[in-house]
């Protein structure tokens, strides 16, 4: 299978981010972003384990306010001892989710305090576009129609590989959304979302998972990280469930035409795919999802009360360009719809 191993080949496929994408990136939690950080009930969290160095991805939170903004450059959250914890000085990455909102907020930084509270020095904050959420339909339903009952998290090992376990395969078949965490080899962490119709993460054999990568903001942070450190951690979600699937292994990027053609949606094949060699798979109850109740309709942020992430991003892009923020917002929204229509998605409506 064709594997992409150089930055030049990666950029030839994915492209390079535009100035509009890099303009909206900040090195602090501005006043507009404070409401997002403190208002999100749950967030994906990625880091490297302090003992093993292995990548970890999970969901943290339980309700709005679980993260405290101590200053524009520092945030903190309550931290309970578990099997994994980030090392002091190590990289951590957050992806904040707001129920009913398409955009997410990504925040990367480094651990400054490790104890009963985890203190993080903020290095990078920016809005992630809504296409991933729109593709997955994450907030359009509270339960996947194909989900079935919750499988037994403690299923037996399968000598054919972790993906051959029925409860693991069944969960992936019902999942429209996952989070994945990587490292750049120098300690920085990045957590990125992936979303598509349920079952988009395709099992190729007992150890190999293929995840399509459709066009987005062209930052390609995950892919760039994998060129220097191929370790990856993933968490798959099924709407309506508090059970999640944790996966760990190594990964590579491919543009193999035969594989990509199997992931075509009506019109367009993905431009690349992530191939994951899965070494570990575990289903586990997630306390953050259970406490936050994000799958209940009333948990969604009401119109006019939720932070306007697309508006924040539009203002940041428009300001240095001298453009009107309202026009910029309309153009961004139109771009979402056109791209989804070209890919073959039948619903381009925003949540």
Q: What is the pLDDT along the chain (351 residues), one digit of tens a residue?
A: 789 989 999 888 887 766 655 666 789 998 889 999 999 999 999 999 888 888 899 999 999 999 999 999 999 999 875 778 888 899 999 999 999 888 899 999 999 987 789 999 999 999 888 888 888 989 886 554 444 445 555 555 666 789 999 999 999 999 999 999 999 878 899 999 999 999 999 999 999 999 999 876 667 889 999 999 999 999 999 999 999 999 999 999 999 999 999 988 777 888 899 999 999 999 999 999 999 989 986 554 444 456 777 777 666 665 555 556 566 667 767 776 777 777 767 654 444
Extract the tokens encoding 20.
Answer: 């509009």
Backbone angles phi and psi of 254, in degrees to 5: -135, 155
Angle between helices 325-343 and 309-321 (to 10 degrees): 120
Q: Where are the beta strands (DSSP E) in the chain?
A: 3-4, 42-48, 55-61, 67-71, 74-78, 91-97, 104-114, 117-128, 177-183, 189-195, 202-203, 208-213, 231-237, 243-254, 272-285
What predicted TM-score, i.e. pTM, was given to this entire model?
0.86
For residue 150, the Cα-to-chain-centroid distance in whole angstroms is 23
What letter does residue 252 receive in the DSSP assignment? Answer: E
H or E stretch including 7?
Answer: helix 7-14
- Separation of alpha carbons 59 and 162, rounded Å: 22
Tokens of 144: 């996947």
164 in helix, strand or coil?
helix
Phi, psi of 299 (to 5 degrees): -80, -15
CB atoms within 10 A of CB 303: 7
Query: If you write DSSP's letter for every residue of 254-312 in order, what string do you get?
Result: E--HHHHHTT-BTTB--SEEEEEEEEEEEEEE-HHHHHHTTTSGGGSPPTTTS--HHHH
């Amino acid at each position: 299978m064709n594997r992409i191993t150089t930055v030049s080949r990666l950029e030839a496929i994915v492209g390079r981010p535009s100035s509009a994408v890099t303009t909206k990136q900040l090195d602090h939690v501005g006043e507009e972003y404070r409401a997002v950080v403190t208002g999100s009930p749950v967030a994906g969290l990625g880091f490297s384990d302090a003992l093993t160095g292995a990548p970890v991805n999970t969901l943290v939170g339980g309700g709005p306010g679980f993260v405290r903004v101590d200053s524009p450059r520092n945030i903190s959250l309550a931290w309970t001892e578990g099997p994994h914890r980030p090392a002091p000085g190590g990289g951590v990455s957050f992806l904040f989710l707001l129920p009913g909102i398409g955009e997410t907020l990504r925040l990367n930084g480094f651990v400054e305090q490790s104890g009963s509270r985890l203190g993080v020095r903020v290095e990078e904050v920016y809005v992630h576009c809504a296409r991933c959420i729109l593709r997955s339909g994450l907030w359009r339903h509270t339960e996947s129609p194909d989900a079935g009952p919750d499988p037994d998290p403690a299923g037996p090992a399968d000598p054919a590989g972790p993906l051959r376990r029925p409860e693991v395969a069944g969960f992936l078949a019902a999942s429209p959304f996952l989070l994945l965490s990587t490292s750049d080899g120098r300690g920085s962490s990045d957590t990125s979302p992936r979303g598509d119709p349920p079952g988009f993460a395709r099992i190729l054999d007992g150890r190999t998972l293929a995840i399509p990568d459709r066009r987005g903001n062209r930052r390609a942070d995950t892919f760039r990280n994998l060129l220097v450190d191929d370790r990856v951690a993933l968490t798959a979600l099924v709407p309506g469930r508090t059970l999640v699937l944790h996966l760990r292994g190594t990964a590579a990027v491919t543009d193999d035409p035969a594989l990509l053609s199997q992931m075509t949606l009506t019109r367009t094949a993905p431009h690349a795919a992530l191939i994951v060699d899965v070494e570990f798979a575990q289903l586990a109850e997630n306390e953050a999802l259970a406490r936050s109740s994000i799958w209940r309709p009333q948990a969604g942020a009401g119109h006019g009360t939720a932070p306007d992430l697309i508006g924040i991003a539009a203002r940041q892009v428009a300001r240095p360009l001298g453009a009107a923020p309202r026009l910029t917002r309309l153009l961004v929204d139109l771009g979402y719809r056109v791209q989804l229509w070209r890919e073959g998605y039948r619903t381009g409506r925003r949540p």
